[in-house]
Structure 1
Amino acid sequence: MRTVLLVNPAAATGAAARVAGSVAQRLREGTDQLALRVATSPAETLGLAARAVADGADTVVVLGGDGAAHAAVQACAGTDTALALVPAGTGNDLANALGVPNNPLLAADEVARALREGRRRRIDLGRVSGGSWFATVLCAGFDSAVNERANALRWPGGPRRYDLAILLELARLRPRPLVVDTGDATVELDATLVAVGNTGCYGGGIPVCPDADPADGLFDVTIVGRVSRSALVRIVPTLRTGRHVEHPAVTTLRVRSLHLGGRTGWVAYADGERQARLPLTVRCEPAALAVVA
């Protein structure tokens, strides 16, 4: 068994670099060959992951956060090379969706055990037409503006960064005319945000699409319609519990594909990474990614 460990040394303000040696030692207990590669950017992560896949690696293990995981997904999608995650980032939403422990050393032990036992499964991925794959949530509107704001903040760390970004973006809240075409039906409304979930959470554990299942071949879609700032302030706390879907301004859908259009000017984010401006088409690709679980 050939395994490649990709390390993003900057993840979690250097925490990944500090544990890389210990993580590698633990992973060697589960594989015949382990190659350690260091990537200093998402582009380098993608290049190293693509090379590992081309060279026939059985598994690519990413030690880093959601950005590094997203880059590796691009290389492993649609192949027989499995992706494994050892979380060491800010959000770790994909790792959490796969049930990986947040502690990187415990996660490395779990991955090594899964490698020894040959435990892998396949999960769905989302694909942006003409663009990238994503494993967790694609969002646009207020939440993507929050993403842009959070990415620009240097303090605080973790989920609190997103909480602060939410407060800062509330002042700029403005619903926009959104058209969601699922092929079977069209939804037109003034919307505050739309989230397309392959898994349930984004932003460091916010269950925006709480019932999303990455193995059912479908997206869960959450749309927040026109709401006032005060109403959105009341909805925000329920995002942490998933009860926002009970609000009368929230529409939920379950679809295989959809086209997001309308005069919004919104930029989409997927897996926390900037994508294209709307309009765009998104499709769920069943069992597109092998994961060590």
Structure 2
Amino acid sequence: MPTTKPKRVVVAINPSASFGKRREVGPALVQTLRASGHEVTSLQEPDWESLAASARAAVAKRPDALVVVGGDGMVHLGVNILAGKRVPLGIVPAGTGNDMARSLGIPYENAEAAIRALGDALSRDPRTIDAARVRWTDPDGIPDERWVACAISAGFDAIVNERANTMHHPKGPSRYTISILVELARLKPIPYRLTLDGRVIETDGSLVSLGNGVSLGGGMKVTPDALLDDGLLDVMIVQPLTRVKFLRLFPKVFSGRHTTLPVVRMERARRIRIEAPGIIAYGDGERLGPTPVDIELVPGALRVLA
């Protein structure tokens, strides 16, 4: 880690990080930062709500950075605290997907390399990127909104997430494998009404995904040409697929080669409305709310250490 002016750094560690193979990443980061002379506030809380509250209180004191340790859920927490603020977000990946880290070029498979990269980033000016503000109305009629940095899902992948989140067993990634198999057996077209910067598209489809970053779901390059700072969201619309065609398409998503297929339509827009009856939208892998959802990409909304 290079020598740099000491910074006041808040480190928020995933509440689930005390279990699993990456439980040492947070303490190792804190120890390394302190050894480099930085003033570190380490936040470890028993649940997400407590961690979010502690992080908001810490950011109110205007530290030089908020660093999150975990996967895209932790990034989502940090983005919703920092969007529109001057305090930059640092990321040390320790999750299963780590799609925001992938899009930013942060090492996501080597914790030591990620910690070194963060140290390097603390010595440079933060990078400014876009973020999406998502608004919807909950089932009780109460308006809600959330910030999303990397990707928004409103189709088959969101349905799979929704099923997995309702399952108590088994634990871990196998829940998603089971959910994919269950929902694939029930695969049917979804009627979409999309408004892209005022232009209306009405179509049946299997899924609609929006990317500010390149990937979602742990490396699926759904929007391979997306840029984090171009002021636009890349929109992927997939026409209705049979189970066989879906299984043929799926492997191509990991390389980004799906975008040239006739069943895939790619668009770009800054303001997007998604209407799809019965579909729950997800952002950065986290549950948002029921469609319709209104999405606005806000240029330069977030500062990041990368």
Deviation at 1:183, TM superposition (A): 3.1
Name the aligned partner's letter for residue 161 of structure 2: N
1:26-65 equivalence runs, <5 A: 26-30=32-36, 32-65=38-71
Task: Show CA shifts across 1:5-42 (max 9, x none).
Answer: 11124238433432332211222355531111103333
1:25 aligns with 2:38: no
Query: 1:154–1:100: structure 2 CA closer, same or farther, 3 Å change rule?
Result: farther
Please name the residue that 2:3 is paired with. Answer: none
1:170 aligns with 2:191: no
Out of 74, 97, 106, the residue aligned to residue 113 of structure 2 is 106
Deviation at 1:44, TM superposition (A): 2.4
Please name the residue that 1:283 is paired with. Answer: 296
Residues 146 and 165 in structure 1, CA contact (< 8 A), matched pair in contact too: yes
TM-score (norm 2): 0.88
Query: 1:11–1:146: structure 2 CA closer, same or farther, 3 Å change rule?
Result: farther
Q: The residue matched to 1:190 in structure 2 has which SS?
A: strand
Residues 27 and 111 in structure 1, CA contact (< 8 A), matched pair in contact too: no
Q: Distance in 2 between matches of 1:137 and 1:224?
A: 16
Deviation at 1:121, TM superposition (A): 0.6
Aligned residues: 290
Residues 31 and 112 in structure 1, CA contact (< 8 A), matched pair in contact too: no
Name the aligned partner's letter for residue 257 of structure 1: R
Query: 1:210–1:150: structure 2 CA closer, same or farther, 3 Å change rule?
Result: farther
Structural RMSD (CA): 2.0
Out of 228, 232, 238, the residue aligned to residue 214 of structure 1 is 228
Please name the residue that 2:241 is paired with. Answer: 227
Q: The residue matched to 1:14 in structure 2 has which SS?
A: coil
Name the aligned partner's letter for residue 221 of structure 1: V
Deviation at 1:184, TM superposition (A): 3.6
1:252-271 equivalence runs, <5 A: 252-262=266-276, 264-271=277-284
Q: Distance in 2 between matches of 1:62 and 1:205?
A: 20
Query: 1:266–1:138: structure 2 CA closer, same or farther, 3 Å change rule?
Result: same
Please name the residue that 1:15 is paired with. Answer: 21
Residues 123 and 290 in structure 1, CA contact (< 8 A), matched pair in contact too: yes
1:292 aligns with 2:305: yes
Task: Show CA shifts across 1:195-231 (max 9, x none).
Answer: 0111111111111111111110100000111221221
Task: Show CA shifts across 1:85-120 (max 9, x none).
Answer: 1111111111121111122222112111221x2241
Q: The residue matched to 1:215 in structure 2 has which SS?
A: coil
Query: 1:39–1:65: structure 2 CA closer, same or farther, 3 Å change rule?
Result: farther
Q: Distance in 1 between matches of 2:101 and 2:17?
A: 14
Query: 1:202–1:161: structure 2 CA closer, same or farther, 3 Å change rule?
Result: farther
Deviation at 1:157, TM superposition (A): 5.2
Q: Distance in 2 between matches of 1:33 and 1:187?
A: 52
Structure 1: runs of 5 or more not aligned: none
TM-score (norm 1): 0.92
Name the aligned partner's letter for residue 38 of structure 1: Q
